[in-house]
Chains A and B, each alone.
Chain A
Amino acid sequence: MNQDTNSVPDTDDDLAGQYVLGALSPEEQAIFEARLTNNVELQKAVNQWQAHFLSITDRLDPLQAPQPLSARIERSLDELEQQSIKDAQKRSIKQPQVLSSFWQSLALWRGISATCLAVAMVFAIQLQTIEPIMSEPTYIAVLVAPENKTPGWVIQTSQNTNQMQLVPLAAVQIPEGKALQFWTKAEGWDAPVSLGLVKRGETLNVDINTLPPLTENQLFELTLEQETGSPTGKPTGPITSIGRGVIML
């Protein structure tokens, strides 16, 4: 039986699975970890196995993380954050560079899960205190592509500024002569209301004082329309992103 298994050499994917199960010998593990540091495919295989097996431990009855632990983590992260801000200021890093590292880490927070996505966004944005326009969001929505549920946009509002911002999470492709139109519809409304047109590479800001109060589960969507907007005042083109709002406080 052993011979049978040993006769077929381990593929990288076999090794990745064994690594995740802790089934490599110390020597094998050391070699594997050395290869892992600069091998994207290998890291991907490990993360894939881990994600598969996680579906088992996700079924364990969850322990409540105690308040002191959360507070301790927050304190430590605050310290790190302060330190990194100081470092950034020392090196007088310009805004675009800071932003790019912001988006890189966002890829992680975004990928963790949609359940955590809204809060992860807040978390990621809070880390980015160098950018002063963001304040504590009170209402948030994540818009995803209807076909593959890829998060594409985040909507957030802040009481302080009375603004709702529609922020792209990735580069946005808008075909020539077209525009993305931003719509919302709360329960009980007859039809969606247009909140404006999204221009290439811009964050759309909407004054929330012009809107009825935002409600839990309110629908938001982006549709592909003519450059000047929908001719009928209602969505006519295909939906590119859709999501529902969550009240944060």
Chain B
Amino acid sequence: MQLYEQESSRLLTVVMRILKNRPLAEDVVHDAFIKIWKNANTYHKDLGSARGWVYTLARNLALNALKYSQRQVLAEPDFLLNLCDDKVLETEDHPDELSELAQDPLAQASLQVCLEHLEPERKLCVLHAYVDGYTQDEIATLLDKPLGTVKSWIKRSLRALKECLE
């Protein structure tokens, strides 16, 4: 049953960041586990990252739950930018032997590196969208930019990240 303790804590962290509402976040994590259990047989190796599969499912539940819940939209640029800067080295100092075994540490580290190549404002757009689950409208208001600019930045950032990751 330790799978829950390990992965449910991480799922709760991700979902809570998006929903900013503890009881709702716990409901979503509960429902995510039920859905994972029911759909586990549809996952196979050809679908790529299993964790990606699990988190796509959980994040979609969280984003759906947002439709029925109000939340505060906050900027926190320093927090977000630090999330992909400072801690890179910190993790490398304490390698987790087991997690290195199954995951590809190179692929993981490289997204952090590739994000470094983006201009801070564009990087923030990507981080707000992913980490906070903000819509592009919300990001445009938050950064005081036209919606079209935000859309364009996100598209271009994804292309740049993809090129860099390859």
Contact = CB atoms under 8 A, between A and B. Distances in A.
Nearest to A47: B52
Given A13-B162, A22-B133, A53-B130, A46 B52 contact: yes
Interface residues on B, range: 35 or more
B154 interface: yes
A13 B165 CA distance: 13
Interface in B1-21: 1-14, 16-17
Interface residues on A, range: 35 or more
Given A23-B136, A49-B52, A60-B17, A115 B9 contact: no
A52 B107 contact: yes
Contacts of B14: 57, 60
A91 interface: no
A59 B55 CA distance: 15
A2 B33 contact: no
Interface of chain A, helix or strand or loop or mixed? Answer: helix
Interface string B50-81: 11111110010001000000000000000000
Interface in A107-131: 107-117, 119-120, 122-123
Given A110-B50, A115-B96, A66 B34 contact: no
A18 B8 CA distance: 26
A80 B26 CA distance: 19
A56 interface: yes
Interface string B144-166: 00001101101110110110010
A23 B83 contact: no
Given A56-B83, A112-B7, A114-B102, A22 B63 contact: yes
9 contacts: A13-B162, A14-B158, A22-B135, A48-B48, A51-B107, A54-B55, A62-B13, A76-B30, A122-B1
